[in-house]
Amino acid sequence: MSFDERKKSRVTLLDVARHANVSRATASLVLRKSPLVGSETRSRVEQAMRDLGYVYNIGAARLRVERSQIIGAIVPNLTNPFFAELLSGIEEVIGETGKVVLLANSGDKVERQATLLQRMREHGVDGVILCPAADTPPALSEEIADWGMPVVQVLRHISFDMDYVGADYAAGMRQAVDYLASLGHEKIAFAAHGPVQSAYQERVDGFRDAMLSKALDPGILIHFPAQLGEIASATHLLFDQATRPTAVICFNHLVALGLSAGLHDCGLTIGRDLSLIGFDDVADEEAIRPKLTSVSTGPVTIGEMAARLLLERIANPDLPPRRVVNDTALHVRESCGRPM
C-alpha cells in the first residue's frame, strides 16, 4: 500500500471522537487507557473505534499525533549527584526529539512511586524511565504492562519483562579488588550503604565473588548510615572489625565522600595509611583530596542509553524486553598505595 493509499484509508482519532460525540482529547485518553475517562464514555469511544475500523497500533503516523511530548523520570534520591548526571544523559537524548523530561523523586518509597506513576499515567506521558524504589514488588511490571505505558528500568531492576539499562556492577567490583590485590592488599573491606535492591545485591555479590576468586576473605562488609555527615562520624567502624582492613571499596560516591572526610578527621592519610576506592566516579569526586581512585559506572552514558531504549519502545511497543549493561572502568588516581 502506498503512502497516499494509506493516508486515504486511515481512520483518524478525530473521526472516532466525532462519531462518539466526544472531544479528540477524550478519545485520546481512552486510547491511553486513562482512568480519567468514565466507563460509559469509554464504551462509547470503543464502540466508535469498532464501528469505524480504527486500528489502535497504527504505527508511526499515529505516534506522531498521540504524544504528550513528556517523558517522566522517577529516581529514589535527588541529593545524590549520581542522579543529576543520569538525568543530564537522559535530557541530552530526549532534548533532540522536542520532548521534555519531567523528573520526580520517589524518596525510595513504594507508595510515593505508585502515586507518581499514577499521575504520569493520568497525564498520558509518552513513557517513563524508572529507577525502582527498594522493595518494589516485581508484580509492578505486570501492572505497567496492563496500562500499556512504555517504561524502561534504569540502574535497578525488578523484572526482566521490562527493558533495563544498568552498569556491570560485578565487573566494577572485580576491577577494584584486582587492583588492590595487585598492590598487595589482602584485608579489603566493602563499605556498604542504603537499602537492599538489585544494584546493591549485585555490588555485594560482585565483591564477594571477586575476593573469593583471589582466595581472599570477603567477610569485612560494613554498613554505613544514610546521611553524609553520619558516614564521616561512623568511620571508626572500619577499625572496630576483627580484621582491620588495609583498603576499603566504597558502595558509591556518598560513602567515598563521607569516609574521605572521616579518615581526615582520624588523622589518617588516604593512600598511605589506608587505601580507598570510590564507586560511580561522579563529577563531585573531582574535588576530593587526595584525588580518589574510583570505578566509573557512567551515569551520563546510562541515562543516554535508557532514553534511547525508551524512544525505541515508544515507537515499537512490541519489541521483546531488552537488557543493556554498561561497562565499568577503574580510574586510578591517588587514593591507593601498598599496604603498610
Sheet with 188-193: strands ordered across: 221-224, 188-193, 247-250, 275-280, 293-296, 329-331
Looking at the Cβ atoms of 36 and 332, the one nearer to a second copy is: 36
- Whether 313 and 163 have beta carbons less than 8 Å apart is answered as yes
**Grid cell digits, residue 27:** 478519545
- Amino acid sitting at position 309: L
Q: How far does the chain reach from its first CA to its final CA, in angstroms?
A: 76
Q: Which helix (H) or strand (E) covers residue 116, if one does?
A: helix 110-122
Looking at the Cβ atoms of 121 and 157, the one nearer to a second copy is: 121
Looking at the Cβ atoms of 216 and 228, the one nearer to a second copy is: 228
Count CA atoms within 13 Å of residue 73 on its CB side. 25
Looking at the Cβ atoms of 10 and 289, the one nearer to a second copy is: 289
- In angstroms, what is the minimal distance from the CB of 196 to a second copy? 23
Looking at the Cβ atoms of 23 and 243, the one nearer to a second copy is: 23
DSSP readout, 72-101?
EEEES-TTSHHHHHHHHHHHHHHHTTT-EE
- In angstroms, what is the minimal distance from the CB of 62 to a second copy? 18
CA pair distance 213, 178, nearest whole angstrom: 10
Looking at the Cβ atoms of 233 and 241, the one nearer to a second copy is: 233
Looking at the Cβ atoms of 23 and 57, the one nearer to a second copy is: 23
- Whether 296 and 281 have beta carbons less than 8 Å apart is answered as yes
- In angstroms, what is the minimal distance from the CB of 19 to a second copy? 14
Of the candidates 16, 131, 17, 19, the residue with the CA atom closest to the CA atom of residue 73: 131
- In angstroms, what is the minimal distance from the CB of 84 to a second copy? 4
- Amino acid sitting at position 179: Y
Residues 20-26: contacts with CB within 8 Å, 24+ apart? 20/44, 20/45, 20/47, 20/48
- In angstroms, what is the minimal distance from the CB of 270 to a second copy? 11
- In angstroms, what is the minimal distance from the CB of 20 to a second copy? 10
- In angstroms, what is the minimal distance from the CB of 202 to a second copy? 25
- Whether 206 and 171 have beta carbons less than 8 Å apart is answered as yes
Looking at the Cβ atoms of 136 and 159, the one nearer to a second copy is: 136
What is the length of the chain? 340
- In angstroms, what is the minimal distance from the CB of 229 to a second copy? 5
List interacting residues with a second copy (CB under 8 A): 21-23, 25-26, 29, 36, 41, 68-70, 72, 78-79, 81, 84-85, 87-88, 91, 95, 100-105, 107, 112, 115-116, 119, 123, 227-229, 232, 257-258, 260-261, 264-265, 283-284, 286-289
Query: 191: phi > 0 → left, psi -120 to 50 → alpha, else beta; which?
Result: beta
